[in-house]
């Protein structure tokens, strides 16, 4: 399935930190950059998210702010 979100960047999971309902997943996207994603524990299970897994980071363009 292709998705309408403009930003889709491949990376590798380096950390999964479980909370009560959500997990914070850290993804290394190369170039010295990491991205932190907050998703539900159910999604972590459904997608088989674990350290070392290759994932795609997905962000809509309207959710990206700029600072300068």
Interface residues with its own copies (CB under 8 A)?
1-9, 19-22, 24-25, 27, 29-33, 35-40, 42-43, 46-49, 53-68
If the CB atoms of residues 19 and 51 are measured against its own copies, the closer one turns out to be: 19
* Least distance in angstroms from the C-beta of 17 to its own copies: 8
Reduce the secondary structure of 32-57 to three states and give it as a string: CEEEEEEEEHHHHHHHCCCCCCEEEE
Q: How far is the CB of 40 from its own copies (least distance, A)?
A: 6
């Amino acid at each position: 399935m292709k998705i309408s979100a403009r930003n889709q960047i491949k990376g590798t999971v380096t950390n999964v930190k479980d909370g009560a309902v959500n997990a914070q997943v850290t993804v290394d996207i190369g170039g010295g950059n990491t991205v932190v994603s907050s998703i539900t524990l159910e999604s972590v299970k459904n997608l088989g998210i674990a350290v070392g897994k290759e994932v795609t980071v997905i962000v809509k363009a309207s959710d990206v702010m700029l600072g300068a």
